[in-house]
Chains A and B, each alone.
Chain A
């Protein structure tokens, strides 16, 4: 058996309300919130970036077992807002965490599914017994062009996942990935902000890839959607995951616990995995979780998790921890995100 043995997360304490951003641009906040189904988002501090947040998430994930640090054989960090274009974040993270130097490290990039691709790769290394333990992080300080619709949802956050073969809290039952060359969202080299193709990001991109990945996974495992206690999809905004759920005959109750976008926004590489963090707060032993990330460009990684009785001792009380927050105004947000310097 291979799966997740522990996890951690980091949500910066700052929040900005969608209404604040909307009023900045003379937009009707009620309409914006109704359309996007996002009310506020988490914003990293001026002194925080992908590395600092990945570090915070990782020390939480490694806190329960002092021996883990010496056992880690790979460190992967998925992001689309790495602090450096050339210079790995994963090696810095390993150093900061005090790991041995005997590990494979690399950074991954595939828009918002950079970390789930890394998670599947890490699972392969652990499953093949080439390594015993892997650390995977999804971390983003997601930026958006001022006034762009992305600005209402692009947020900050990180999570970290320890994979192993023993003391598993969530077994990885199976996975699929569905990929095509679909240019719905991109950021060119040296460009400061991402671009997107409006409504093209919906039907032919997000919905097509997520539904295909899920359908193939269900077919592969001979399972049906009603067999899952919880379902988590990537959350670029509040409406897309619910619409995808409707297409796949998944209920609001199944989506409820992992649907955290309304108050946290879309932390890109960390988005879908943050929904999984929330689910781990309540998932009971024996329950199954259906999960699908989405990365523009485009692809979806679908994974089935099976919760074990070890979950009880590893819960993090996510919802309580993120309730401690400080609201900031647009000018502070702009400074924190480096839009004004």
Chain B
């Protein structure tokens, strides 16, 4: 069975001394070193990256990575906006299904801080509907509309959203690779400037540089001799890119569909999951994810969020975003999906150090591209 046998991540943040090449190389070398593998033992590479063509003027990343890693094996570049890393993993998993006794490298990276905030925001908006871009709808704007619908429909307020950031920042303090390793309070979040009502700066994930890499294998000997976690499912679903064409605005349909498929394939139910990384690009997104994945009934998430029901110290059976999530760990878009699965892998194999959740058996990673145009749900087990 396909398994994850190794993970490595660079620090996420403003890595001014690292280029996109440096990030790819650091993550790739890091994971090979930690798994005691040589690059010659890798059969294929799957890269998650969104903005190389915009920020670094570099496309044809397959050949680019071939040069960096000094290999001539198949290299696939996957782009699904913020779900590029998740898509790289999902594709690698599919590849292994038809390639027995193989081992592949999945690496996601993004260099975002070399251009201005305005330019990177414009670059990110290329993943939105062209018609909606034209009328000025940015990603914060899209999620702000979803948040307004949710708060109005179910009677919650900005404090319920703020609790998500408070919880994830508390988790980020425990993660040495997190972009932000500091606590924030509800008041801090509520007093931060609005980005797009009702979302504020501290409801939003940052612009980060960073890279993460995983080794996947179906080679029994390698799986047996490494800390490994079985890939029970990695499912992708798509939806309209335009939010004006979405069926409902209090949910992300692609998350629901990918989640349903992933649970079906993995033959477990949400109650079995102990740890989970969900795509909290904005605070509202974590609440929607927990509901859409079937953990919380639609419309109840605001209350659970305010209780911080998934905090590592909550004593509950499900802990969410132990890495700090996108909010505190950072969001180098191509790297995020890989980091999420890596974090679940660390939790399931007992390598999560200060943020280790006890008695973990199943973990889930949820990665979203383009405000729900693409969603990938991956379930690992031990």
Q: Interface of A with B (CB < 8 Å)?
A: 27, 195, 197-200, 204
Partner of B16, one of A27, A195, A200: A200
Q: Is B117 an interface residue (CB 8 A)?
A: yes
Q: Which residues between 174 and 209 of chain B lie within 8 Å of chain A, taking CB atoms?
A: 193
Please report the C-alpha to C-alpha distance between residue A195 and residue B117 in the assembled complex, in whole angstroms.
12
Q: Which residues between 73 and 115 of chain B lie within 8 Å of chain A, taking CB atoms?
A: 113
Please report the C-alpha to C-alpha distance between residue A195 and residue B16 in the assembled complex, in whole angstroms.
18
Please report the C-alpha to C-alpha distance between residue A27 and residue B14 in the assembled complex, in whole angstroms.
26
Interface SS of chain A: helix, strand, loop or mixed?
A: helix
Contacting residues, chain B, for A27 (C-beta < 8 A) = 193
Contacting residues, chain B, for A198 (C-beta < 8 A) = 116-117
Contacting residues, chain A, for B116 (C-beta < 8 A) = 195, 197-198
Partner of A204, one of B16, B117, B193: B16
Contacting residues, chain A, for B193 (C-beta < 8 A) = 27
Question: What 0/1 pattern do residues 13 to 53 of B give for CB contact below 8 A with A?
Answer: 01011000000000000000000000000000000000000
CB proximity of B204 to chain A, nearest CB, Å: 16
CB proximity of B209 to chain A, nearest CB, Å: 12
The chain A residue sitting closest to B194, CB to CB, is: A26
Q: Interface of B with A (CB < 8 Å)?
A: 14, 16-17, 113, 116-117, 193
CB proximity of A200 to chain B, nearest CB, Å: 6
Given contacts A198-B117, A200-B113, 7 further A-B contacts (CB under 8 A): A27-B193, A195-B116, A198-B116, A199-B14, A200-B16, A204-B16, A204-B17
CB proximity of B118 to chain A, nearest CB, Å: 10
Please report the C-alpha to C-alpha distance between residue A27 and residue B17 in the assembled complex, in whole angstroms.
33
CB proximity of A149 to chain B, nearest CB, Å: 12
The chain A residue sitting closest to B17, CB to CB, is: A204
Greatest chain A CB density within 10 A among B16, B17, B113, B116 is at B16
The chain A residue sitting closest to B115, CB to CB, is: A197
CB proximity of B85 to chain A, nearest CB, Å: 25
Can you pick out 11 interface pairs between chain A and chain B where the beta carbons lie within 8 Å of each other? A27-B193, A195-B116, A197-B116, A198-B116, A198-B117, A199-B14, A200-B14, A200-B16, A200-B113, A204-B16, A204-B17
The chain B residue sitting closest to A198, CB to CB, is: B117
Please report the C-alpha to C-alpha distance between residue A27 and residue B191 in the assembled complex, in whole angstroms.
12
Contacting residues, chain A, for B117 (C-beta < 8 A) = 198
CB proximity of B248 to chain A, nearest CB, Å: 33
Contacting residues, chain B, for A195 (C-beta < 8 A) = 116
4 closest Cβ pairs, A-B complex: A204-B16, A200-B16, A199-B14, A198-B117
Please report the C-alpha to C-alpha distance between residue A197 and residue B16 in the assembled complex, in whole angstroms.
11
Contacting residues, chain B, for A199 (C-beta < 8 A) = 14
CB proximity of B232 to chain A, nearest CB, Å: 41
Please report the C-alpha to C-alpha distance between residue A129 and residue B74 in the assembled complex, in whole angstroms.
70
Contacting residues, chain A, for B17 (C-beta < 8 A) = 204
CB proximity of A328 to chain B, nearest CB, Å: 27
Please report the C-alpha to C-alpha distance between residue A198 and residue B14 in the assembled complex, in whole angstroms.
11
Please report the C-alpha to C-alpha distance between residue A198 and residue B118 in the assembled complex, in whole angstroms.
12
Please report the C-alpha to C-alpha distance between residue A195 and residue B116 in the assembled complex, in whole angstroms.
10
Please report the C-alpha to C-alpha distance between residue A197 and residue B117 in the assembled complex, in whole angstroms.
9
Please report the C-alpha to C-alpha distance between residue A123 and residue B195 in the assembled complex, in whole angstroms.
51
Please report the C-alpha to C-alpha distance between residue A200 and residue B14 in the assembled complex, in whole angstroms.
9
CB proximity of A180 to chain B, nearest CB, Å: 12
The chain B residue sitting closest to A195, CB to CB, is: B116
Contacting residues, chain A, for B14 (C-beta < 8 A) = 199-200
The chain A residue sitting closest to B192, CB to CB, is: A31
CB proximity of A240 to chain B, nearest CB, Å: 17
Contacting residues, chain A, for B113 (C-beta < 8 A) = 200
The chain B residue sitting closest to A200, CB to CB, is: B16
Please report the C-alpha to C-alpha distance between residue A197 and residue B193 in the assembled complex, in whole angstroms.
20
CB proximity of B255 to chain A, nearest CB, Å: 33
Contacting residues, chain B, for A200 (C-beta < 8 A) = 14, 16, 113
CB proximity of A241 to chain B, nearest CB, Å: 22
CB proximity of B274 to chain A, nearest CB, Å: 37
CB proximity of A33 to chain B, nearest CB, Å: 15
Contacting residues, chain B, for A204 (C-beta < 8 A) = 16-17
Please report the C-alpha to C-alpha distance between residue A197 and residue B120 in the assembled complex, in whole angstroms.
13
Greatest chain B CB density within 10 A among A27, A197, A199, A204 is at A197
Please report the C-alpha to C-alpha distance between residue A204 and residue B113 in the assembled complex, in whole angstroms.
14
Please report the C-alpha to C-alpha distance between residue A198 and residue B17 in the assembled complex, in whole angstroms.
16
The chain B residue sitting closest to A184, CB to CB, is: B16
Please report the C-alpha to C-alpha distance between residue A199 and residue B17 in the assembled complex, in whole angstroms.
14
CB proximity of A122 to chain B, nearest CB, Å: 35
Please report the C-alpha to C-alpha distance between residue A175 and residue B14 in the assembled complex, in whole angstroms.
33
CB proximity of A21 to chain B, nearest CB, Å: 16
CB proximity of B144 to chain A, nearest CB, Å: 17
The chain B residue sitting closest to A182, CB to CB, is: B16
Contacting residues, chain B, for A197 (C-beta < 8 A) = 116
CB proximity of A209 to chain B, nearest CB, Å: 14
CB proximity of B117 to chain A, nearest CB, Å: 7
Please report the C-alpha to C-alpha distance between residue A340 and residue B113 in the assembled complex, in whole angstroms.
33
The chain B residue sitting closest to A26, CB to CB, is: B193
Please report the C-alpha to C-alpha distance between residue A198 and residue B117 in the assembled complex, in whole angstroms.
9
The chain B residue sitting closest to A197, CB to CB, is: B116
The chain B residue sitting closest to A199, CB to CB, is: B14
Please report the C-alpha to C-alpha distance between residue A27 and residue B194 in the assembled complex, in whole angstroms.
11
Please report the C-alpha to C-alpha distance between residue A23 and residue B144 in the assembled complex, in whole angstroms.
25
Please report the C-alpha to C-alpha distance between residue A195 and residue B193 in the assembled complex, in whole angstroms.
22
Please report the C-alpha to C-alpha distance between residue A199 and residue B179 in the assembled complex, in whole angstroms.
14
Please report the C-alpha to C-alpha distance between residue A27 and residue B113 in the assembled complex, in whole angstroms.
25
CB proximity of B116 to chain A, nearest CB, Å: 8
CB proximity of A197 to chain B, nearest CB, Å: 8
Please report the C-alpha to C-alpha distance between residue A200 and residue B207 in the assembled complex, in whole angstroms.
13
CB proximity of A217 to chain B, nearest CB, Å: 25
Please report the C-alpha to C-alpha distance between residue A204 and residue B18 in the assembled complex, in whole angstroms.
13
CB proximity of B200 to chain A, nearest CB, Å: 13
Please report the C-alpha to C-alpha distance between residue A59 and residue B255 in the assembled complex, in whole angstroms.
73
Please report the C-alpha to C-alpha distance between residue A198 and residue B116 in the assembled complex, in whole angstroms.
8
Please report the C-alpha to C-alpha distance between residue A133 and residue B117 in the assembled complex, in whole angstroms.
48
Please report the C-alpha to C-alpha distance between residue A204 and residue B13 in the assembled complex, in whole angstroms.
14
Please report the C-alpha to C-alpha distance between residue A199 and residue B180 in the assembled complex, in whole angstroms.
14
CB proximity of B285 to chain A, nearest CB, Å: 25
Please report the C-alpha to C-alpha distance between residue A301 and residue B17 in the assembled complex, in whole angstroms.
24
Please report the C-alpha to C-alpha distance between residue A276 and residue B94 in the assembled complex, in whole angstroms.
68
Please report the C-alpha to C-alpha distance between residue A200 and residue B117 in the assembled complex, in whole angstroms.
12
Please report the C-alpha to C-alpha distance between residue A50 and residue B17 in the assembled complex, in whole angstroms.
37
